[in-house]
Chains A and B, each alone.
Chain A
Amino acid sequence: MDTDYELVVESCLLAGRLMMESGAETYRAEDTMDRMAISQELTQSQSFVTPTGIIFSGNKNLPTRLVRINARTTDLGKIASVNNVSRKLAFRDITIEEAYSELKQIEDEHKTYPFWIQIVAAAIASGAFLLLFSGKLIDVPTALLAGGIGYAIADRLEIRTRVKFFAEFFAAFVVTVIATISVATGLGSEIDTIIIGSVMPLVPGLLITNAVRDLMAGSFVSGLSKGAEAFLTAFAIGAGVALVLSL
């Protein structure tokens, strides 16, 4: 059988890029690419994945390829779909041509939940966190409002400005302003728990976990850069809150 090796390399790169753009761990992206390559008889493949780019080499006769990763979001559904395709390919349920078209389909047509449902979910999570952190029932409406608005602002601003830190800073700023106003007007009682609960949807939880996972798996370049991103995001949130509190 004659396999189109260039298509194999192309599919591996596409799968790796989709995974890294949706927030997968580095070692998982490398593992997926290697498995796909091995299933297509490219046993000598080498992959080097960082959060900002992927270098992949099939064998010594094929050109080594590089793709750039510009946007990074969190999209667990996309990771699951790509994982599913690579699993089917490894078990030889589909051919490499079918796998490539399925990956292309995931890239173009992947659906997320509607934006308003995400906002409602972020608001509900804020309210639940407020109560988990021993907040009072009277503060729940404020946390719902602040959490929902904060998440919506962070998401939209990030799409508009492409600067994540500014978006998170501004969202934390607005959350704190809402909490301060509600406490000042007597609608809320404890400003601290309201802010902690409402800021939770912005916290870079996935980044922190992935950073440490990558460091422990030996991917030091990705671990350190993800750690830096997580630290900067947390710092931006802290600065946004601190700005209002110090006024």
Chain B
Amino acid sequence: MIYVVQGILSFIAAAAFGVVFNAPKKSLFYCGVVGMTGWIVYMYVNSLNQDQVSASFAGAFTVAFVSHIMSKKFKMPMIIFSVAGIIPLVPGGTAYNAMRSVVEKDYALALEFASLALLISGSIAMGLVFAEIITQLWTKAILRLKTKP
């Protein structure tokens, strides 16, 4: 049940972000789909081991992978689909907590939150790049199979 509610919410959030970023009208629905898949994978991995870093990696990997499929299908740049999907994964809450701790002069806690935010953004970037490289290798392999008689 919680997955359904969160799925709908993340769909709305990603599609709304598509509007804010002025994505083409026909791609808005698919922006939402990409955001929803990424968030559900994030939630699932997070519930398995309570580790935001690996969950963000899995979420970003899914987002990039699904966006790649969409970009091939609609012949649009991949960035159109991936940007809105990545937004829910961005560690806004962690960064906020880090900043809030600075205001409260609890610098040890602030450093803890800040390094967590840094790790999460790093893992999002790794997920994006890994998915892109793997899909590239995959399409190259398929091309080679096709050209070989």
Q: Which residues of A contact B (CB under 8 A)?
A: 24-25, 28, 74-80, 83-84, 87, 112-113, 117-118, 121-122, 124-125, 128-129, 131-133, 151, 192, 195-196, 199-201, 203, 205-206, 208-210, 212-213, 216, 234, 238, 241-242, 245-246
Q: A76-B80, A209-B82 are in contact. Are A122 and B20 (CB under 8 A)?
A: yes
Q: Counting chain A CB atoms within 10 Å of each CB, which of B23, B102, B124 scores highest?
A: B23
Q: Which residues of B contact A (CB under 8 A)?
A: 6, 9-10, 12-13, 16-24, 27, 39, 75-77, 79-80, 82-83, 86-88, 90, 92-93, 95-97, 99-100, 102-103, 121, 124-125, 128-129
Smallest CB separation, A160 vs chain B (Å): 19
Smallest CB separation, A84 vs chain B (Å): 8
Bound CA span A212–B93, Å: 21
Contact across chains for A213 and B128 when beta carbons are under 8 A apart: yes
Smallest CB separation, A62 vs chain B (Å): 28
Q: A113-B19, A241-B99 are in contact. Are A216 and B125 (CB under 8 A)?
A: yes
Give the nearest-CB partner of A241 in chain B.
B99
Tell me whether chain B's interface is mostly helix, strand or loop, or mixed.
Answer: helix
- Hey, which chain A residues are within 8 Å of B20, CB to CB? 74, 118, 121-122, 125, 151, 201
Tell me whether chain A's interface is mostly helix, strand or loop, or mixed.
Answer: helix
- Show 18 A/B contacts (Cβ-Cβ < 8 Å), sorted by A: A74-B20, A76-B18, A76-B23, A77-B24, A79-B77, A80-B76, A83-B77, A87-B75, A122-B16, A124-B16, A131-B9, A132-B39, A196-B96, A201-B20, A203-B87, A209-B86, A209-B128, A210-B79
Bound CA span A200–B129, Å: 23
Bound CA span A121–B99, Å: 27
Q: A128-B9, A200-B87, A205-B87 are in contact. Are A76 and B79 (CB under 8 A)?
A: yes
Of B13, B22, B124, the contact of A74 (CB 8 Å cutoff)? B22
Contact across chains for A242 and B16 when beta carbons are under 8 A apart: no
Smallest CB separation, B42 vs chain A (Å): 10
Give the nearest-CB partner of A32 in chain B.
B77
- Hey, which chain B residues are within 8 Å of A113, CB to CB? 19, 22
Of A83, A151, A209, A212, the contact of B83 (CB 8 Å cutoff)? A209
- Hey, which chain B residues are within 8 Å of A238, CB to CB? 95-96, 99
- Hey, which chain A residues are within 8 Å of B23, CB to CB? 76-77, 80
Q: A79-B77, A212-B125 are in contact. Are A128 and B95 (CB under 8 A)?
A: no
- Hey, which chain A residues are within 8 Å of B19, CB to CB? 113, 117-118, 121
Contact across chains for A121 and B17 when beta carbons are under 8 A apart: yes
